[in-house]
Amino acid sequence: MIYIGATGWSDHPLLYSEATAARDKLFDYSGHFPCVELDTSFYAIPRPENVDKWCSETPDKFQFIVKAYQGITGHQRGENNPFETKNDMFNAYRTALDTFVKHGKLGCVLAQFPPWFDCQKQNITYLRYLRQQLADYPVAIEFRNETWYQDKYREGTLQFLRNQQFIHVVCDEPQAGSGSVPLVPVATAPKAFFRLHGRNLHGWRNIGNAADWRKVRTLYDYNEEELQQLVAHTETLMKQANDVFVIFNNNSGGHAAKNAKQFQEMMNIEYTHLSPKQIGLFEGDF
């Protein structure tokens, strides 16, 4: 099955009316897409009661892609870690994951590593440790350092992911040197993950004000030709995996939901078992 969705459910004005309350947005979102990437779990590990609430608001077959907590992927530095030990951190994260599993709604974990996480022995050792800590869960690995895909390492990287039963995150993103990775449409597990960041090269390279950088980094609207390219890559992944998750992360300007809808139409996919949409709200639009 192909699961098409976007990052988060709050910032997609195309999907909601102006009167839609924040508490209702997940339910409304799940009337359009069968999965979502949960990015708030990067900043704080969700409490089980919140997970129960999210799962209760979505259809039975809805899937969550749960982004790994920043302490797990090495983004968190200094004294801001609220956990005394790594074991405490992983225990709390596994508790959250188990709640998704209880509801049958864990699509996978997304472990997105920072640009400085390059292909070296120390980092490979950490990935083995991560696999041990999250042995019972489907875990997707997203690299943001091109060394993993250099000619001398690429096949080794992909085989390592296969051996560790990691899902390879295939990325579409600006090609900006060491801080970005090439699009390599290879699946390494029964699930495949295609994550689409847009192609805003200037925004990707912008190292100015951090707040502004985050606003423009994924500011991009895929055109029809580019979406057709993404369709072709998805079809390649479909031949290699049982399920393919396609997540649009280009939402700085609110384009993710629109592009996801266009992509769904190009793939000729019609989802059933979604939440009911608000009657008449988008009649004639989708």
CA distance 125 to 122: 5
CB of 216 closer than 8 Å to CB of 206:
yes
Residue of higher predicted confidence among 283 and 101: 101
Residue of higher predicted confidence among 208 and 243: 243
CA distance 4 to 257: 10
Q: What is the residue type of 106?
A: L
Q: What share of the chain in percent tops pLDDT 70?
A: 92
The correct CATH number of 2-266 out of 3.20.20.410, 1.20.120.80, 3.20.20.150, 3.20.20.140 is 3.20.20.410
Residue 77's pLDDT band, with cuts at 50, 70 and 90, is: low
The string of pLDDT tens digits covering residues 251-272 is 988 899 999 999 999 999 999 9
pLDDT on residue 279: 46
Q: What share of the chain in percent tops pLDDT 90?
A: 77
Q: What is the mean pLDDT of residues 217-241?
A: 96
Residue 240's pLDDT band, with cuts at 50, 70 and 90, is: very high
Residue 206's pLDDT band, with cuts at 50, 70 and 90, is: low
Residue 228 has pLDDT above 80, yes or no: yes
Q: What is the mean pLDDT of residues 84-89?
A: 92
Largest CA distance in the chain: 56
CA distance 37 to 152: 32
The string of pLDDT tens digits covering residues 9-38 is 998 988 988 888 989 999 999 999 999 999
CB of 33 closer than 8 Å to CB of 6:
yes
The string of pLDDT tens digits covering residues 148-205 is 999 999 999 999 999 999 999 999 999 987 789 999 999 999 999 999 999 998 877 7
CB half-sphere exposure, 283, CA atoms < 13 A: 4
Q: What is the mean pLDDT of the chain?
A: 92
- 0.85 cut: is pTM over it? yes
pLDDT on residue 208: 58
Give the start-to-end residue ranges of the domains of the chain.
2-266
Supply the angle between the helices 256-266 and 224-238 in degrees, to the nearest 10: 60
Q: What is the mean pLDDT of residues 210-224?
A: 79
Query: How far is residue 1 from each of residues 104, 229, 248, measured CA to CA in Å?
Result: 16, 19, 17
DSSP conformation class of 167: E
Residue 126 has pLDDT above 80, yes or no: yes
Residue 133 has pLDDT above 70, yes or no: yes
CA distance 30 to 262: 17
pLDDT on residue 158: 98
Residue 210 has pLDDT above 80, yes or no: no
Block residue for tokens 């096949």: 155
Angle in degrees, CA 48, 17, 284, rounded to 5: 120
- Which of 211, 225, 214 is closest to 249 using CA atoms? 214
pLDDT on residue 18: 81
Poorest-confidence range of 31-40, 98-107, 114-123, 202-211? 202-211
